[in-house]
Amino acid sequence: QIAHTGITDWDLLCQALKDIGYKGTFNFEADYFISLHINSFTDASANGIEVHTAGRSGDSYAFGKCLLNGMLDTTGLKSRGMKQSADLYVLKNATMPAVLLEMGFISNQNDAAFLQQHPDLFAKGIYDGIVDHFDASYITHVNMLLCIIAITAVLMTILIIVGNVFL
């Protein structure tokens, strides 16, 4: 069941969690953390993909760069580049390398349509970036398909939630 809280800003959501007693960091039992987002701006001409990390060096940055390049290669969308966003809650409180992916703009008609019609291309790009970062060319074709299917399912859920909020 999906419940709409009315909160569309990640920092506000994290603050709301803290307000109700959540005291932890994002200490999942994971080696890397990828936060999937769709951007929005008042100027409908804003478009493209960007990746946020807490700093401009280190494993998070290298990982983010691979993910950005993977998505650019598969989608052909404009690169807005790597962004340093040390103040974002999800990045500054992660206990493992963390990236925040902005996969186009829901406020841009072309980006929104592309994301809705081709979530699999974003998923494939994320997968390709992971493979590139870890030099994991040994991953089997079956594992690749399962990974892309899982990422696509997450993206479709995001689109449903974002569509209900913004459209």
Q: What is the pLDDT of residues 100-153, one digit of tens each?
A: 999 999 999 999 999 889 988 998 899 899 889 987 766 665 566 666 666 766
Q: What is the pLDDT of residues 86-104, one digit of tens each?
A: 988 778 878 888 899 999 9
Beta-bridge partners for 52: 83, 100
Kindly report the number of other CB atoms within 10 A of residue 78's CB atom. 15
Q: What is the dihedral of CA 73, 78, 81, 83, to 10 degrees?
A: -120
pLDDT of residue 5: 40
pLDDT of residue 160: 53
Retrieve residue 112's tokens: 């929104």
Tell me which DSSP letter residue 38 carries: E
- 158, pLDDT greater than 70: no
pTM over 0.85: no
C-alpha–C-alpha distance, residues 160 and 36, integer Å: 14
Tell me which DSSP letter residue 23 carries: -
Cβ atoms of 124 and 146 closer than 8 Å: no
One-letter amino acid of 116: Q
pLDDT of residue 112: 92
C-alpha–C-alpha distance, residues 124 and 87, integer Å: 29
In 76-118, alpha helices (H): 89-92, 109-117
pLDDT of residue 95: 80
pLDDT of residue 59: 93
- Indicate the angle between helix axes 119-134 and 58-75, nearest 10 degrees: 140
Q: What is the pLDDT of residues 5-64, one digit of tens each?
A: 444 555 665 665 555 554 555 555 667 888 888 899 999 999 999 999 999 999 999 999
